[in-house]
């Protein structure tokens, strides 16, 4: 086989990989992964053992990839009908359904393999954690509280990090997971405003389609305020020093900025709000936790 043919095959393989990673928005793993690290570092009161750290990363990547691929499969019909999402990989045929299912099952197996390599309790909690992330994809069909269910699914990230290190739920700061629930519910409610009209017309449920964009924005603000209070309570409960609360100041600024740059009547900068600010929040809280533990 010629070098040109080999190069062509390589480009096809890497091109398909790029499409798959874009389909599942792999880069947004940054939302949940730092919270898993936060739970793990709090449990270890510092840097966990490297094998544990490695398997936490594998578990998080596996779980999120599985959930996102499943979401794209079950929402295929709605994505194809929605002008905002019609160009996604499955509606356009860039990814076949069989390929998406293979990615779903493969990443699910990877998740359970990682949990098996951590400890017994992590493996016991794995079916519940993964089930929540998969069930979320179906909730818009029957409840406007789908944003809170997404938050509940992602709240397993810090809990999973803690259990991966300790093998126990003892001493876990539940305020941290509650904070994640309301943080996620807040930004997902704002993001859902993009599809409020489509959801209403097709019979899908969301807070913006149920309450209207204006009231949904107000509720998202309440969610984010509760999230900040719960993140503050986490630092107090875990006896973290000023570095942690300095990170919370950054978090507060990022939360506020999200509500300043978008409005119910102007969603043009929603991607800056959704992607940049929320990535900053999760990273800031993790880095602040690490610094506080390292200097405490």
The whole-number pLDDT of residue 118 equals: 98
Q: Is the pLDDT of residue 112 over 90?
A: yes
Cβ atoms within 10 Å, residue 73: 16
Q: In whole angstroms, how far apart are CA 33 and each of 46, 107, 193, 194? A: 17, 16, 25, 26
b/e per residue, 156-194, with b = 16+ CB within 10 A? bbbbbbbbbbbeeeeebbebbbbbbbbbbbbbbbbbbbb
The model's pTM: 0.92
The whole-number pLDDT of residue 6 equals: 43
- Quick one: how many helices (H) and strands (E) in the chain? 16, 0
Q: In whole angstroms, how far apart are CA 132 and each of 126, 135, 190, 281? A: 10, 5, 21, 23
Q: Is the pLDDT of residue 27 over 90?
A: no
Categorize the per-residue pLDDT at 4 as very low, low, confident or very high, splitting at 50, 70 and 90: very low
Q: In whole angstroms, how far apart are CA 198 and each of 80, 194, 204? A: 12, 9, 8
Residues 223, 235: Cα–Cα separation, whole Å: 19
The whole-number pLDDT of residue 25 equals: 73
């Amino acid at each position: 086989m010629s070098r040109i043919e080999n190069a062509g095959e390589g480009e096809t393989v890497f091109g398909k990989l790029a499409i798959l990673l874009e389909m599942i928005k792999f880069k947004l793993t940054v939302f949940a992964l730092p919270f898993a690290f936060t739970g793990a570092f709090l449990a270890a009161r510092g840097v966990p053992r490297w094998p544990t750290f490695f398997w936490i990363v594998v578990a998080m990547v596996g779980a999120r990839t599985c959930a996102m691929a499943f979401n794209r499969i079950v929402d295929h019909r709605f994505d194809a009908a929605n002008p905002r999402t019609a160009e996604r990989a499955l509606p356009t045929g860039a990814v076949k359904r069989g390929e998406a299912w293979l990615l779903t099952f493969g990443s699910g197996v990877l998740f359970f393999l990682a949990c098996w390599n951590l400890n017994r309790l992590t493996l016991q909690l794995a079916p519940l954690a993964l089930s929540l992330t998969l069930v979320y994809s179906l909730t818009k069909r029957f409840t406007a509280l789908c944003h809170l269910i997404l938050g509940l699914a992602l709240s397993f990230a810090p809990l999973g990090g803690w259990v991966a290190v300790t093998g126990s739920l003892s001493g876990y700061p539940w305020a941290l997971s509650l904070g994640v629930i309301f943080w996620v519910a807040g930004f997902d409610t704002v993001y859902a405003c993009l599809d409020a009209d489509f959801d209403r017309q097709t019979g899908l449920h969301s807070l913006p389609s149920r309450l209207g964009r204006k009231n949904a924005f107000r509720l998202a603000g309440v969610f984010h305020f509760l999230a900040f209070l719960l993140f503050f309570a986490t630092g107090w409960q875990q006896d973290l020093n000023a570095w942690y609360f300095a990170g919370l100041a950054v978090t507060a600024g990022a939360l506020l900025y999200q509500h300043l740059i978008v409005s119910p009547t102007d969603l043009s900068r929603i991607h800056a709000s959704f992607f940049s600010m929320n990535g900053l929040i999760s990273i800031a809280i993790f880095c602040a936790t690490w610094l506080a533990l390292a200097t405490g």
